[in-house]
Amino acid sequence: MGRYLLQRLVGMGLMLVLISLVSYSMVRLLPGDPVVAMLGEGGDPVVMARVRADLGLDQPAPVYYFVWLGRAMQGDLGKSIQSNRPVSTILRDRLLPTLQLSLFAGLITALIALPLGVLAAIKRGTFTDLAASAFALLGLSIPNFWLGIIFIMVFSLMLGWLPPSGWRDPFREPLQSLRFMVLPAVTLGMALAAGIMRQTRSSLLDTLSQDYLRTAQAKGLNDRQVIVRHALRNALIPVVTVAGLMVGRMLGGAVIIETIFAIPGLGRTVVDAIFSRDFPIVQGAVLMMAFIVLAVNLIVDLLYSFIDPRIRYS
């Protein structure tokens, strides 16, 4: 286990370096000059040259990348071009809304996808199975931004049940924070639930056809015991794998959801930084999101041995 974990951590480090190189290159290809965006077209050339030197933009792109990478490895992601605040501080302040949105969306996904997937597999070919499959098809087909706008129109503007946008600190205003988080979390969780539901149904159907389950039924176990204690546990491995892969999709969806619902999280920060040509924030946010995805996938891989004790790492 220790050797496997060390190999994965080394692989994560190399992957983060590669992702930082790709994000840095893509940011550099964006049109426009961040110093012009910061000071305006009619700025003093002397001041603009000084600001460009302070930001390292007067250096060749490869040289500045290695300078930035060396600082990033020490926890220094640079300073924002627009606000001159440390990027690490800005991202730390914006991390809580994104984590809250992701956790709520993940909870909604689990509450919807797992029961529907199990019911669809148990009642294969029935109306329940068809209804669950139709829900999955709709969830995968409907864009997040369209669903979010519909939810705002219906539940906020027409019915007035929930606030249309915004965010509240869950540690200071827990009840208000919950009300503000319902619509964005449901919007983000619907598409994720559709994919997990389909995988749960497929995996459970494969497991239910195994001989050891018929043996368990022959020994006198009822259907609930067979499904919960034996079939579902073995069927969870591919489901957990898909769930881990969907973390990246969740963070990508958070960019759209946070913009629609005016949530001050990492996703909206990236969008604002792209429009304002704030390169350090874009690079730092991409690196942070990549680290979260890689860390979650590592945790998912380690969970395999707890779900199935036969799995060993070497």
Name the least confident of 60-64, 114-118, 275-279, 283-287: 60-64
Taking residues 122-130, what's their average pLDDT? 82
pLDDT of residue 36: 65
> 80 falls in which pLDDT band (50, 70, 90)?
confident
pLDDT reading at 54 higher than 80:
no
> 199 falls in which pLDDT band (50, 70, 90)?
confident
**310 vs 143, more confident:** 143
| Residue 151 CA: distances (Å) to CA of 20, 105, 131, 139 | 36, 15, 21, 14
Taking residues 129-147, what's their average pLDDT? 82
> 35 falls in which pLDDT band (50, 70, 90)?
low
pLDDT of residue 98: 87
Radius of gyration over every alpha carbon of the chain, rounded to an integer in angstroms? 24
- Which contacts qualify for 52-58: CB closer than 8 Å, 24 or more apart? 55/81, 55/280
| Residue 189 CA: distances (Å) to CA of 3, 80, 111, 243, 310 | 36, 32, 10, 12, 32
pLDDT of residue 280: 80
| Residue 181 CA: distances (Å) to CA of 32, 104, 111, 175, 257 | 36, 8, 16, 10, 11
Residues 225-245 as b or e (16 or more Cβ within 10 Å = b)? ebbeebbbebbbbbbbbbbbe
Share the mean pLDDT of the chain: 78
Report which listed range, 107-116, 243-252, 270-279, is most confident.
Answer: 107-116
> 38 falls in which pLDDT band (50, 70, 90)?
low
Taking residues 98-104, what's their average pLDDT? 87
pLDDT reading at 293 higher than 80:
yes
Name the least confident of 36-50, 131-145, 147-161: 36-50
* Structural domains of the chain, ranges and CATH numbers in brackets: 2-72 (no CATH), 90-307 (1.10.3720.10)
**188 vs 32, more confident:** 188
